[in-house]
């Protein structure tokens, strides 16, 4: 699964995305990818490196206020939309050795966990998106990628 996720490329992959009926996901957000992003972009999203790991049978607890950012998905290739997600979460799960672990995550890592656990529960980001923000990647790159989320929300709200 890691190979498939990295080839896509993505930062997470849930077993149901590749036809496996398992409560399992793999996650990795490597520093070399993050370091290519502008510093203000990384800071706004609280995006820090996440080592490769496996979560099995996760139980998610939302622990922070929600904030919206653009998300994409390997299951809905070529599109993006704003999704509100909690800034902090707790995940109780098993690791790849079937050992119980608790993950306390914040920022972008919390978003990745919520996104992948949604897949395990049959939910896609398009089920949670702000509908008006749904667009193709080309449109996003041309008009939105350099805007802050505050500017984006103001524009979408007609302000």
For residues 103 and 113, give the distance between their C-alpha atoms in angstroms, rounded to a whole number: 10
| CA 122 – CA 143 distance, rounded (Å) | 31
Catalytic choice (28, 44, 96, 116):
116
Mean pLDDT of all residues in 84-94: 98
- The predicted pLDDT at position 18 comes to 94
Q: How far is CA 114 from CA 104, 110, 133, in A?
A: 12, 6, 19
Average pLDDT along the chain: 93
- Per-residue exposure over 104-129, b if at least 16 CB sit within 10 Å of its own CB, e if not: ebebbbbbbbbbbbbbbeeeebeebb
> Does residue 138 register a pLDDT over 70?
yes
**Rounded mean pLDDT, 133-145:** 92
Average pLDDT over residues 89-105: 98
What are the pLDDT digits (tens) for 37-74? 888 889 989 999 999 999 999 999 999 899 999 999 99
Answer yes or no: 138 catalytic.
Answer: no
C-alpha distance from residue 4 to each of 17, 103, 155, 157 (Å): 10, 24, 36, 37
Instruction: Quote the pLDDT of residue 158.
Output: 65
**CATH, domain 2-156, list 3.30.70.920, 3.40.47.10, 3.40.50.150, 3.90.45.10:** 3.90.45.10
User: Cβ(118)–Cβ(86) under 8 Å?
Assistant: no
Asked if residue 148 has pLDDT above 90, the reply is no
């Amino acid at each position: 699964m890691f190979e498939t996720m990295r080839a896509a490329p993505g930062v997470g992959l849930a077993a149901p995305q590749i036809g496996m009926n398992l409560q399992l996901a793999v996650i990795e957000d490597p520093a070399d990818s993050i370091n290519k992003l502008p510093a203000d972009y990384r800071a706004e999203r609280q995006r820090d490196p996440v080592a490769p790991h496996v979560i099995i049978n996760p139980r998610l607890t939302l622990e922070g206020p929600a904030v919206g950012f653009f998300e994409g998905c390997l299951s809905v290739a070529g599109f993006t939309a704003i999704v509100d997600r909690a800034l902090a979460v707790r995940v109780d799960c098993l690791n790849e050795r079937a050992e119980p672990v608790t993950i306390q995550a914040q920022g972008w890592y919390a978003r990745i966990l919520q996104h992948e656990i949604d897949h395990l529960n049959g939910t896609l980001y398009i089920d949670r998106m702000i509908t008006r923000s749904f667009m193709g990647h080309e449109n996003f790159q041309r008009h939105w990628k350099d805007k802050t989320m505050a500017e984006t929300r103001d524009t979408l709200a007609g302000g």
